[in-house]
Structure 1
Amino acid sequence: MSSPIPGVVAWAVIGYVTVLLSGRIWLGGGAVIDRLINHMGLWSIATLLIYRCASTPTIDDPANQLALGCVLMTTTYLNSIGRLASADSEPDTVWRHQRNTALLALAATASIVLAAASARYSGRSVDLRLAGDGLAIGCAFALPLTYNTFVFTRSCLGALRDLDTPRAARIVCIGLIGSNTVIWGAQALSVSQLATGWPDRPQLSLVQAAFTLWVAFDSTLLAIPLVAELVLRAGMDRATRTCRRLLPLWRDLTAAVPEIVMPADARHGSDPATRLLRMTVEIRDAILHLGTYLPAETGEMQRNTVREPESDRGITDYAHRLIQAAQARKAGLPPAGTGAPPPLPVVAHDFDAELAHLIDLARIWPQAKAAVE
């Protein structure tokens, strides 16, 4: 068998990575790190495809030699991503560093191909061993691979030590470090085989299996922003869903007090979190402006809500009075009083608490509006 990976599994991984990478490219993202990740994905797919062309699982096959070079090219982007994450660098600096590491990977690949060709020309078997051509091939592959993955792992450890790193980013960093240990584990097994003869199987099979697992796992982790962007574009994120729940309340209150509506910021108009904050502030401002139009609290309104839970009665009564105040102001009627509006039934001490109260108000708003009208 020329490959340790069954064909159905290998093609499934190739298709999976291709779909994720296509999604990343389709959604755009011109940041340097996005472009580095996309390039790394392209090299990963190229490597997996070359592995499918190999006829034997040994270094004699030119396809395996090129695959080793593609593995090195893939890890050069890990090196650049790690350096970019560790320090703020100018795009030109990052790409210049990437070109330099890519040239080193090409040089290592050329060394592997030349060492294999020299062994074949001399009639020697091309195999990884602790002497001669085998040692040259092993060093040309293992040293750049270890260095590139080490630079990336060091940046992940730095992010874990940073107390400001979000929890989700910490989980991703731990996963990426774990995937690199798979590569290191394969290298350790290769060294063990060179020294002891165990495990008794082609060494390149270990490299291919480890790389395939690494690509599938890392592609999944790096697709998390893709999923988040798709959720955002579909309007299924939490902020957008909350805006939709507040929309009827916001529309009626701002129609009564249109002067408090802030102009949309062209830079942040499509940001759901900013839109939610602006909507919350405008609802609160409208309530304050309608304070002098609020009718006095009556027992009749409470009797109309006798079937509602006790916790809903106060906010339902408040909604009835607020609707009447909005109608009075829209009709141009004089204020009903000069006092400030009473607060919502539960006093909010922070933004999250206030938002929760406004969501409760928005929940009963349509029924309260129908009862008043």
Structure 2
Amino acid sequence: MSSPIPGVVSWAVIGYVTVVGSGRLWLVGGAVVDRLINHVGLWSIATLLIYQCASTPTIDDPANQLALGCVLMTTTYLNSIGRLVGADSEPDTVWRNQRNAVLLAMTATVLIVLTARYSGRSIDLRIVGIGLGVACAVAVTYNTFVITRSCLGALRDVDTPRAARIVCLGLIGSNAGLWGALVLSLSQLATGLPDGPQLSLVQAAFTLWVAINTTLHAIPLVAELVRRAGMDRATRTCRRLLPLWRDLTAAVPEIVMPADARHDSDPATRLLRMTVEIRDAMLQLGAYLPAETGETQRNTVREPESDRGIADYAHRLIRAAQARKAGLPPAGTGAPPPLPMVAHDFDAELAHLIDLARIWPQAKAAVG
């Protein structure tokens, strides 16, 4: 094996890409961008395997010529991803254009191999070899530049989340490393200096590029695995709110929205729906709340966010739910009393409901 990379490293990267790619094909493949990313992984595996078959690390080796074509093929998908993420095109249009890009990349690969064989001799120091190398390097650079441009745009956006910024920086760094390797390899091909194989840098840079990109592409897979295991934040919050939601909606069943299998599988959607239904039930039960005692009023005014104030409200809310379920009339004829938990955004409201759900079992046991 003539690879400049130790075999254990090469096969470890191939195994890593295979595992992540298999997981993505199984769990993450619905959207167009996910399908494009999955194809990046498949062509990366093909490229690394072809590199392992090369007998010499020079461009006159047929395996290296095929590998160069596969690198070009891999980066065409990055071009499409960059256009899609950058909102330059619609998903269906991007997918159709990608088919044309694949045909062009395949044609270029065939031309590389045929031209090398037609020359009848080593092309690593010939003008035709330099021309092919420059053409492939320009195409690869352009394809990776498109997604790099999208990443730079995301970094300039102040609303881009921190996790997305880390992904963008990783993509930009790996692309820049690949560009540097292409420039140095072409320089060595043209000048013959330093003496030695011309593709060692390209293979090493591409292997590192694949490892970095695979790690970034694994993030949605890990998130999906966490979601399916019920360990994501939204699902855990739903479980904490479930006893509160179950008791309140049992008292006011008409506020429960019809189930929608298409959206209820999303934890964030379930959490939003559960929060809205709890809040609606609390509003409906406002008219059934028993009057506050003097001590409760003093605690609510003095410590509106304390456990004592929340517990007092929980006791009253439980009695209101029991009264409505029993068919009793509202406690008063006026407007429902205001709720003690006033929030101006979803996160603050959710925090209030989590506090209420935390003491709900103890309050329910105390009321009986």
Q: TM-score, normalised by structure 2?
A: 0.88
Deviations, residues 223-251 of structure 1 (Å, cap 9, x unaligned): 22222222222222222211111110111
Q: Give the Cα–Cα distance (whole angstroms) in 1 for the partners of residues 62 and 54 of structure 2.
A: 8
1:103 CA drift (Å): 3.1
1:38 maps to 38
1:227 maps to 222
Paired AA for residue 108 in structure 2: A
2:89 maps to 88
Q: Structure 2 regions of 5+ residues with no counterpart? A: 298-304
1:107 maps to 107
Q: Please, which moves more after superposition, 229-238 or 164-173?
A: 164-173
1:353 CA drift (Å): 1.6
**8 Å CA contact 1:261, 1:282 repeated in 2:** yes
**Secondary structure of residue in 2 paired with 1:223:** helix
1:211 CA drift (Å): 0.7
1:352 maps to 347
1:128 maps to 124
Q: Give the Cα–Cα distance (whole angstroms) in 2 for the partners of residues 51 and 194 of structure 1.
A: 19
Deviations, residues 81-101 of structure 1 (Å, cap 9, x unaligned): 22333312362x434432332
Query: Size of the alignment, in residue pairs?
Result: 363
**8 Å CA contact 1:59, 1:204 repeated in 2:** yes
Q: Please, which moves more after superposition, 139-148 or 359-368?
A: 139-148
Paired AA for residue 176 in structure 1: L
**Secondary structure of residue in 1 paired with 2:230:** coil
Paired AA for residue 56 in structure 2: T
Q: Give the Cα–Cα distance (whole angstroms) in 2 for the partners of residues 28 and 352 of structure 1.
A: 28
Q: Give the Cα–Cα distance (whole angstroms) in 2 for the partners of residues 224 and 323 of structure 1.
A: 43
1:76 maps to 76
Q: Structure 1 regions of 5+ residues with no counterpart? A: 303-309
**8 Å CA contact 1:189, 1:199 repeated in 2:** no
1:323 CA drift (Å): 1.2
Q: Give the Cα–Cα distance (whole angstroms) in 2 for the partners of residues 196 and 117 of structure 1.
A: 22
Q: Give the Cα–Cα distance (whole angstroms) in 1 for the partners of residues 14 and 211 of structure 2.
A: 9
The match for 1:327 among 322, 341, 357 is 322
**Secondary structure of residue in 2 paired with 1:336:** coil
1:42 CA drift (Å): 1.0
**8 Å CA contact 1:160, 1:170 repeated in 2:** yes
Identity %: 81
The match for 1:152 among 147, 150, 172 is 147
Q: Please, which moves more after superposition, 310-319 or 211-220?
A: 310-319
**8 Å CA contact 2:249, 2:278 repeated in 1:** yes
Q: 1:98 to 1:295 in 2, by over 3 A?
A: closer
RMSD (CA atoms)? 2.7
Q: Give the Cα–Cα distance (whole angstroms) in 1 for the partners of residues 64 and 30 of structure 2.
A: 33
1:28 CA drift (Å): 4.5
Paired AA for residue 79 in structure 1: N
Matched, 1:185 2:166: no
Paired AA for residue 48 in structure 1: L
1:177 CA drift (Å): 1.7
Q: Give the Cα–Cα distance (whole angstroms) in 1 for the partners of residues 98 and 79 of structure 2.
A: 8
1:274 CA drift (Å): 2.3
Matched, 1:212 2:212: no
Q: Give the Cα–Cα distance (whole angstroms) in 1 for the partners of residues 48 and 308 of structure 2.
A: 64
Q: 1:357 to 1:94 in 2, by over 3 A?
A: closer
Q: Give the Cα–Cα distance (whole angstroms) in 2 for the partners of residues 316 and 54 of structure 1.
A: 72
Q: Please, which moves more after superposition, 187-196 or 242-251?
A: 187-196
**Secondary structure of residue in 2 paired with 1:332:** coil
Q: Give the Cα–Cα distance (whole angstroms) in 1 for the partners of residues 61 and 48 of structure 2.
A: 15
Q: Give the Cα–Cα distance (whole angstroms) in 1 for the partners of residues 166 and 321 of structure 2.
A: 48
**8 Å CA contact 2:69, 2:106 repeated in 1:** yes
1:339 CA drift (Å): 4.5
**8 Å CA contact 1:51, 1:67 repeated in 2:** yes
1:299 CA drift (Å): 6.3
Deviations, residues 96-133 of structure 1 (Å, cap 9, x unaligned): 432332333233323332333244x3xx4x2533x434
Q: Give the Cα–Cα distance (whole angstroms) in 2 for the partners of residues 301 and 144 of structure 1.
A: 73
Q: Give the Cα–Cα distance (whole angstroms) in 2 for the partners of residues 135 and 253 of structure 1.
A: 74
Q: Give the Cα–Cα distance (whole angstroms) in 2 for the partners of residues 73 and 29 of structure 1.
A: 20
2:136 maps to 141
**8 Å CA contact 2:189, 2:198 repeated in 1:** no
Matched, 1:26 2:26: yes
**Secondary structure of residue in 2 paired with 1:88:** coil
